Structure 1
Amino acid sequence: MSESRDRRAQFGWAFYDWANSAFATTVVAGFFPIFFKSFWSSGHPAETSTLQLGVGSALASLVVLVLAPLLGAVADRSRRKKPWLALATGLSVAATAGLFFVGEGQWLFALTLFVIASAAFFLAMVFYDSLIVDVATPADYDRVSALGYGLGYLGGGLLLAVNVAMTLWPEMFGLADRAAAVRWSFLSVAVWWALFALPVFLWVKEERDADTPSAGQAMREGVSELRRTARRIFDEKPVLTFLIAYWLYIDGVHTIIRMAVDFGLNLGFGETSLITALLLVQFIGFPAAVTFGWLASRWDTKKAIYLGLAVYAAVTAWGYFLAYEWQFYVMAMVIGLVQGGVQSLSRSYFARLIPEGRAGEYFGIYNMMGKFAAVIGPLLVGVTAAATGSARLSILSVLILFVAGGWLLTRVDARAAPSPE
């Protein structure tokens, strides 16, 4: 494969991050929770709509936890990661577009579509992440992974900015009101995602053997391989140690993200301030993620992850003193500097640890561990708050996750990664 073709395949792969990040920003982080309460679940008490959202999110996570490792193994055996990616993408895009047609008060219909879209979104990430081994060599993993995250921050931020403008000034876009603007925003995400996902299917060439098994055979072999992988992974010390380390520190990352927004609300900041902070993270995250990829190639991947974790630890400690709105914005900017770097380099470092030919199943387990994130952190925060009576002291408990995860990461050596059997 020529260098120009390599580059095109890498950009095609990275543009999928640009495409699907619109769902993560506009739908998941931006509009769906607020619109669900005010429009689709209107008339219900606040605690009822919160319960409905919680059940829906838990159901989507459960689907991913069960299916991600299995479908990753099947995709590996069938050598058809791209078709599986297309199926998951199409399902999520269709469900997201369907939100446009849900009327006021139809909370169950809206929640059902959201669960489908969310589960398919995360399952698509299994196949997308595993395709990195088809577009880059190990020497390029950091740069290519960082490019994907960087484009994701930029693309998701750009569409979110447009969608926010639509809701603030609907008349400028020929829309009747804010509710219409939000519904059109969901449809814009579906169109954006479908359009910019095309390069990964057109430019990325997935390696296949002549003896590619049938779908049924691939399913049977995938299930058997998943059982063997579950047993084998306990004997693969670098992989197992990394997954535990990743689970701990990414739990801390996700907890800080959630705490920052919740803490801002508790301080009396309005929705506009929170959306502005989210936009800051998105646009700062683009150059920062790319810079982290460059830093890893010039320095060391693990050291760059350590740097990101150290910054997160400092932000956590600073959260104890947070009191003013300007501090909240500074916190968002600092998080934007390291969030994409920690995520992208974790993905690229894990790619170095897995045996050749098993990217799908291993990334299925990797994404499954990611779905367990933000479990320990909230529990630590809650227990500490209950024991001390101080919300500020409870923030400091999250430091345990960064310290423990960072220490375990020091025990991982990519040179000791398992070889294909």
Structure 2
Amino acid sequence: MNRTKRLSSKKSLSRVERDVIERNHTAGPSMAAGLSAGSLRGASVAWVMLDWGASAFSTISITLLVAYVEKVVFAGDPWGVPGGVVWAWTLAVAMLLAAVVAPWVAAWADRTQAHRQALLASVLLGSIAAIGLALVPPSARLAVVAATILASIGFDLSAIFTGSLLPRIAVGKKADRLSAIGYAAGYAGGAIALVIATGVFSSRAASGLSDSGALRVAFAIMGGWWLLFSLPAFFVRFGDGRQEGHSATSAGELLGFARELAARDGCHRALARVLTGAVLLLGAMQTAIGQFSSVALQEFHLEAGDLVRLVLLVQVVALPGALVSGWLSTVWGRWPALVLSLSGWVTVLALAGFVSQRWQLTALAVLLGVVLGGAASVLRATVAGLAPPGRFGATFGLLNVGSKLAGFLASVVFGGAYALTGHPRAGLVALLVQLVAGWWFLARAGTLLSPLGHGEAGPTTGIKDGER
């Protein structure tokens, strides 16, 4: 069926939705043009390894690092507040600083087509800061907080440029599949890194290490793993993303993109709508993941080993969960897959306020694993498909900035509720409200997230396979 007939047959679509599909269909050749099949496979593997490597920071930071900060560095409340509050506000500061820095770095990468160089700098910042946690003693509390903040900023920035490289190597359903494989690889890599780090901690007596010494070795593993498995991405090509019309300065680049999003053009208005929903959802999810460990430690008085086993359970379940979500998004469409995942997230946050026994906590961890990467994977592929050519960095930068600002506010509210009530679960209500708000914004995107807006036509495709 030709494009004109296809679009005219969809009378129920809004003008905005038809504009987006029209733009997506005519967006031009794939950014992967010029890459041989072998080069494209190599780039895809290197891209997946970015998730594999970075996830070591995710798993170790929400288990061993949070335990180190709360139980070792800030044991006895030396700053006058519980260690859990220090952890929550440390994450909030990291999110805020990342939100300030990210737009400028992303705009520079778009102008100069230096996404890979920006990725390298981000990985180096995060991994070296992680190794720095191993080098400073626990008595240097400010240095521990600073290193945690820098590592978190590096992690957030690397996520921007990992996302901005996706449209260069995959489009449509291929982007959904590759995004899901990346998340699944991340869960596997993060779990393996956590097992190794935990093994060091468990054998600390035989190694002659103290508790804090073993944890610091684990942080060196965290940084080294992240850096090592990110290296392949620095030696492969990711396609040509160069487009005309870039500004001479990063400020001009940001202003130009802002004007495009504020224009009455249906394509950019639709992108703004999807981004608004995505940032609210991702901000709530990222904050929830970071704070669930604190809830488990404080409410259930888990030891570090118990927390590690709980996180490993989540990782093991999340791996097939991400793959299934990616498969569902290619079969049912992105919106049904998102609805299923978001329903699970709402259930997790709602039930988290009522669990009171260990077996209930374990069951909740299994449910969290099922839905953990589904929504994030589909959202990453969706934004990659809607990103204007030449604005990949700015688009993912805006996604990251928005989610960090949303996460910053959620973390502040979470920490404030914890400080006022003495119960970390009180902050989960704010996360639930934010999640529902993001769901509502995405629902307004209509068929842009349905099977119609889910094909393989080009770098920002909107036509289903075989319907061009």
156 and 384 in structure 1: CA distance in 2 versus 1, 3 angstrom threshold: closer
> 2:262 corresponds to which residue?
234
> C-alpha separation between the residues in 1 aligned to 2:234 and 2:143?
31
Contact 1:254 1:373 in 2 (8 A): no
Alignment map for 1:258-277 (pairs within 5 Å): 260-265=292-297, 267-271=299-303, 272-277=305-310
Distance in 2 (alpha carbons) for counterparts of 1:418 and 1:238: 16
1:19-62 deviation per Cα after TM superposition (whole angstroms, max 9, x unaligned): 11111221x21222332345445675263574655554343223
Residue in 1 aligned with 2:96? 62
Structure 2: distance between partners of 1:108 and 1:381 = 22
Deviation at 1:264, TM superposition (A): 3.3
Q: Which has the higher contact order (CA 8 A, sep 6+)?
A: 2
- State how 1:15-94 maps to structure 2 within 5 Å: 15-26=49-60, 28-41=61-74, 45=78, 47-48=80-81, 50=83, 53=87, 56-94=90-128
1:222 and 2:250 aligned: yes
Find the partner of 2:285 among 249, 253, 272. 253
Query: 2:277 is aligned with what amino acid?
Result: A
Q: How many angstroms does 1:67 deviate by?
A: 1.6
The 3 A distance-change label for structure 1 pair 39 and 349 is same
> Would the alpha carbon gap of residues 328 and 418 (structure 1) be closer, same or farther in structure 2, given more than 3 Å must change?
same
Instruction: Quote the offset at 1:345 in angstroms.
Output: 0.8
In the superposition, relative to structure 1, how do residues 8 and 175 fare at CA in structure 2: closer, same or farther (>3 Å)? farther
Secondary structure of 2:317's aligned partner: helix
Change over 3 Å in CA distance of 1:379–1:190 after alignment to 2 = closer
Residues 127-138 of structure 1 mapped to structure 2, 5 A cutoff: 127-138=161-172
Identify the match of residue 202 of structure 2 among 168, 174, 181: 168
The corresponding residue for 1:286 is: 319
Query: Is the CA contact (8 Å cut-off) linking 2:53 and 2:225 kept in structure 1?
Result: yes
Counterpart residue identity of residue 94, structure 1: I
- Which of residues 117, 122, 132 is equivalent to 2:151? 117
Amino acid at match of 1:227: L
- Residue from 391, 396, 401 that aligns with 1:363: 396
* Matched-pair contact (CA < 8 Å) for 2:53–2:186: yes
Shift of 1:342: 1.0
Flag structure 2 segments of 5+ consecutive residues without an equivalent: 1-34, 462-468
Deviation by residue 1:93-151 (Cα, 9 ceiling, x = unmatched): 22222222212411222222222222122112211110111221233111111111111
Task: Return the TM-score normalized by structure 2.
Answer: 0.78
Question: More deviation in 135-144 or 377-386?
Answer: 377-386
Flag the 1:165–1:253 CA change in 2: closer, same or farther, 3 A: same
Residue in structure 2 matched with residue 201 of structure 1 by the alignment = 234
Indicate conservation of the 8 Å contact 2:138/2:212, yes or no: no
Structure 1 residues not aligned, in runs of 5+: none
Residue 346 of structure 1 is matched in structure 2 by: 379
Distance 1:60 1:379 in 2: 12
Paired residue type of 1:232: E
Residue 224 of structure 2 aligns to which amino acid in structure 1?
Answer: V
Identity %: 29
Task: Name the CA distance, whole Å, in 2 between partners of 1:233 and 1:41.
Answer: 44
Query: How far apart, in 1, do the equivalents of 2:44 and 2:222 lie?
Result: 23
Whole-Å Cα distance in 2 between the matches of residues 317 and 165 of structure 1?
34
Contact 1:15 1:148 in 2 (8 A): yes
Do 2:138 and 2:144's aligned partners in 1 also have CA atoms closer than 8 Å?
Answer: no
**Amino acid in the other structure paired with 2:185:** L
CA RMSD, aligned part only?
3.4
Alpha-carbon distance change, 362 to 325 in structure 1, aligned in 2, over 3 angstroms: same
Question: 2:6 is matched with which residue?
Answer: none
Q: Distance in 1 between matches of 2:115 and 2:204?
A: 40
Alpha-carbon separation, structure 2, partners of 1:112 and 1:393? 27
Contact kept, 8 Å, 1:10 with 1:204, in 2: the verdict is: no
Alignment of 1:155 with 2:185, yes or no, is no
Distance 1:29 1:194 in 2: 19
- Residue 99 of structure 1 corresponds to 133
Does the 8 Å CA contact 1:41/1:105 hold for their aligned counterparts? Answer: no
Q: How many angstroms does 1:158 deviate by?
A: 0.9
User: CA 1:373–1:150 in 2, change beyond 3 Å: closer, same or farther?
Assistant: farther
Deviation sequence 1:299-326 (CA, Å, 0-9, x none):
2112101110011122233335422111
- Which range moved further: 333-342 or 374-383? 374-383
Aligned residues: 413
- CA apart distance, 1:154: 0.9
Distance 1:360 1:170, change over 3 A: same
| Counterparts in 2 of 1:199 and 1:166: CA distance versus 1, 3 Å | same
